[in-house]
Structure 1
Amino acid sequence: MTRILPGVIAMAAIVVASNILVQHLFGQWLTWGAFTYPFAFLVTDVMNRVYGVTAARKVVFAGFVVGVICSLIGTQIMGEFGPLVTWRIAIGSGIAFLTAQMMDVAVFDRLRRGAWWRAPLASTLVGSSLDTALFFTIAFSAQLAFIEPANDVSWANEVLPLLGIGPQVPLWVSLALADWMVKLSLALIALVPFRAIVTRISPDVA
């Protein structure tokens, strides 16, 4: 456990920071949390490359527990329009995080023997896409209103041009697409710190 403690701490810090920063808007389609959360995949991939699948899964589970605690705290804090975290958001966040991160671990492990960049890039792209699809659908889709009937998500289902310029879609689809685009961009950028961190920790597996 000691060897993966830095990974656990880093994952916990990213999850906590993202839960705080998601409350603050960045432009029309994003929150500041969109720029911190994707680095959870970087932590998972570093742990996977250096210490293996089992260690990576332990770090993911630690992040999941921290995320659940943050969500539960958020449901008890009242903001201007109700709880900072609704039960739909809490459920969507938990399911998306655990499913996407575990998929990231599995894809990375399958590709670990290829070129150094292929496993972290492919696993993050797959995991990020799954995370975005699950979270936004569970948290805001009108079709899943039965999850929390008392939670009014009509604002998220207002039909508007996609990202302000495309075809007419529910607002949450634009939010999801913007979030996904940030994740994909950071997946490429994260290759630089991934290579540097792995080389520093364990040059023989870099």
Structure 2
Amino acid sequence: MTQPRAAFAQVGSPYYAALAAVFTALVIISNVTATKGVAFGPIITDGGFIVFPLTYVIGDVLSEVYGFKAARRVIFLGFAMNALAALAFWVTVYLPAADFYTDQDHFENVVGAYTQLIVAGLAGFIVGQTINAWVVVRIKERTKERHLWARLIGSTFAGQLGDTVVFCSIAAGAIGITSFSDFAVYTALGWLYKTAVEVIMLPVTYRVIAFIKRREPTYAPSRT
């Protein structure tokens, strides 16, 4: 007997579009806020820590409900919109400044840091989100509707590790990190913090997934 395939919804509903929009906005916001290095005593991070972990929560929802290809489509959409944001910022840098505008140098500094963080963010983003979506779907193919917690936590550990190592390796210089010890703290803290946020958010993720599954007309739970 053949093993029944995991069930996923089609992408034509308003829920998919809304998740894609929020996901893309969070990615852009995270890259802007990440241009500022932040220190809490010996703990070093950047401003992206505020909302970036939520992109993985939405990535889990997309992967669980719609599957790997649909989640990857949103990942590429976020990539494209980030690139468009960087282009728009650089065009703005080279536009002639009004006589009363005195912050040109500050704006250029932020855009320069943002561009480096865009590269770091996009590289880590594609690696991490792809790993995250792949792990969710692969575990679901084995467990079907059971053990959602295993899919969410397993994908978080793997995806956030890939994302954080790639991102921090490129971004450290943009926010002024020059020593290996600071880099190690920055990377380790980023991975632990983002993973912890996703674990803490599990009850919310569960409810969002259950809500969308109930209302998606094309989602039919697979049977074990």
Deviations 1:121-148 (A, max 9, x none): 111111111111001112337xxxxxxx
- CA shift for structure 1 position 45: 1.1
Q: Which residue of 2 aligns with 1:194?
A: 205
Q: Which residue of 1 aligns with 2:136?
A: 108
Q: Provide the rounded CA distance (Å) in 2 between the counterparts of 1:123 and 1:95.
A: 18
Query: Which deviates the most, 15-24 or 92-101?
Result: 15-24
- CA shift for structure 1 position 72: 3.8
1:45 to 2:60 alignment: yes
Change (3 A) 1:15 1:83: same
Q: Provide the rounded CA distance (Å) in 2 between the counterparts of 1:154 and 1:20.
A: 12
What is the RMSD of the two structures over their aligned residues, measured on CA atoms? 2.6
1:118-157 paired onto structure 2 within 5 Å: 118-140=150-172, 155-157=176-178
Deviations 1:18-69 (A, max 9, x none): 1232244554312332131111111111111112222111111111212222
- The question of whether the paired residues in 2 share the 8 Å contact of 1:46 and 1:197 is answered with yes
Q: Which has the higher contact order (CA 8 A, sep 6+)?
A: 2
1:58 to 2:73 alignment: yes
| 3-state DSSP of counterpart to 1:79 | helix
| TM-score, length-scaled by structure 2 | 0.72
Change (3 A) 1:71 1:124: farther
Query: Which deviates the most, 21-30 or 80-89?
Result: 80-89
Runs (5+) with no aligned partner, structure 1: 142-152, 159-168
Deviations 1:98-125 (A, max 9, x none): 1111111111111112511111111111
| TM-score, length-scaled by structure 1 | 0.77
Aligned-residue identity in percent = 20
Instruction: Specify the structure having the higher radius of gyration (Cα).
Output: 2
- CA shift for structure 1 position 74: 5.0
Aligned length: 185
